[in-house]
Structure 1
Amino acid sequence: MFKRCGGKDRWVTANKLLARKRPGLLPVYDSRVKSALSAPGSIWACLWSWFEGDSRRAEAVAGLRDQAGDITDISLLRCLDVILWMHATGAPT
């Protein structure tokens, strides 16, 4: 028999591996980020509605990325991942 990989939350492990492989395409999505978004439906609908139309949101994430220092090679999606995770875990800013 095959040994199960990824622990009890296999969807989290799979998502994190995919997000690591394609950081500009897929967000990190785990139970903490899911609770931070607190939006019904899929993460895709939530992210689409969040970025659609209002460029101030993307500009705000870009501003936070600029404040962090020399990390312009990090995508806005990855920066949003970090912001959501920090908010969800109560990490100091």
Structure 2
Amino acid sequence: MARWGRGHTPTRHADKATWMRDHRFEWLEIATYPAAYSAQCAVHGIRGGAPSNKIARYYGPAGAFETRTETTDMGTTVHARYIGGPVT
């Protein structure tokens, strides 16, 4: 069982990746992470730069998604969008 804070719903990365592929170039909020480190782990997984990251499997191939982060009162929010093939 995953260890989540009270009231936290796990992010459904498979659903989010599918939505972004259907809506190319549109930004989507992935999740807000209370710790900046957790947000950076998600960013690396989405960009495909962290093969050991469990969410990376939903966002392949590497470079097909862009990310941006925003600091909020609740932590660090990660946004992503599908841009197509890998960035060269």
| Same fold, judged at TM 0.5 (above) | no
Structure of higher CA gyration radius: 1
What TM-score comes out, normalization by structure 1 length? Answer: 0.24
Give 1 or 2: higher helix fraction. Answer: 1
What TM-score comes out, normalization by structure 2 length? Answer: 0.24
